[in-house]
Amino acid sequence: MEFIQLNRFTWSVGLTHSREKHSTVMLEVASKKMEFIQLNRFTWSVGLTHSRKKHSTVMLEVASKMSF
């Protein structure tokens, strides 16, 4: 995915503050092909405390669709 698409994704899940920073971090996480459990911990660390499993699943899907 392009950076702009990833940025739109972060906006859609409600990361309205520091969107650019979060999307950059997510892009770096995706590029390293992190495992699901690591990605789940990442979502928790950036404050997605509600529905963590749902958000990490969506993030994993985004990562899996990216071209490396």
pLDDT in tens, 13-35: 544 444 455 555 555 555 554 44
Tokens of 57: 């699943």
What's this model's pTM, rounded to 2 decimal places?
Answer: 0.17
Distance from C-alpha of 6 to C-alpha of 23, rounded to nearest angstrom: 6
Distance from C-alpha of 19 to C-alpha of 68, rounded to nearest angstrom: 22
Question: How distant, in Å, are the alpha carbons of 16, 28, 64 from that of 50?
Answer: 16, 23, 23
**Secondary structure class of 8 (helix, strand, coil):** helix
> Residue 8: pLDDT band by 50, 70, 90 thresholds?
low
> Residue 68: pLDDT band by 50, 70, 90 thresholds?
very low
> Residue 42: pLDDT band by 50, 70, 90 thresholds?
low
**Secondary structure class of 67 (helix, strand, coil):** coil
